[in-house]
Amino acid sequence: MLHGKIKGAPSAAYQIDLGENPGVTQAQALSVSWSSNWIANRDNQNYVGLINAGFSPYAAFGGALRAYNAGLQGTINTLSTPGPGMVNLNWGTANGNYVSGVLNIWINCFGGGRL
C-alpha cells in the first residue's frame, strides 16, 4: 500500500507523514530499508525516553508504539493518567486498538521476545 504522493500525507509502509517530518524525502519514505531503520530509531528514542521517565520496560514498549503518533510527551501524559494501561495506550488510535494490535503481531508473528 503506497500512498502519500504529496507533502503532509503519509507515505509507504510506515506512513511517515512528510509534512510532520520535513527532513524525510518521499524517496526515503518509500524505501522499505530506509524507512525501517528510521522508524526503528524513532521508536528506540521514544522507548529510552519512557524508561528515563520511570516507566517499566513493558509500558515503555507499548508507549513507544503510541508515541509514534502521539509524541513522547503526549504518551507520558497518557501513561500517567489513572486507568488500565493498554486502554489508555489504545485510546484515540485507529480503531481504538493500534498499540495492542502491533503488540499482538510482535507476539504472534515474531515470538514476542524479551524486553
User: What is the spatial distance between Cα 45 and Cα 58, in angstroms, rounded to a whole number?
Assistant: 15
User: What is the spatial distance between Cα 64 and Cα 92, in angstroms, rounded to a whole number?
Assistant: 15
pLDDT at 38: 92
User: What is the spatial distance between Cα 16 and Cα 50, in angstroms, rounded to a whole number?
Assistant: 22
pLDDT at 2: 36
| Residues ≥6 apart with Cβ < 8 Å to 58 | 115
pLDDT at 96: 83
pLDDT at 52: 95
pLDDT at 48: 95
- Which segments of the chain have a pLDDT < 70? 1-13, 83-85, 112-115
Percentage above 90 pLDDT, the chain: 17
Segment 11-14 long-range contacts (CB within 8 Å, at least 24 positions apart): 14/38, 14/39
pLDDT at 8: 54
pLDDT at 45: 94
pLDDT at 5: 42
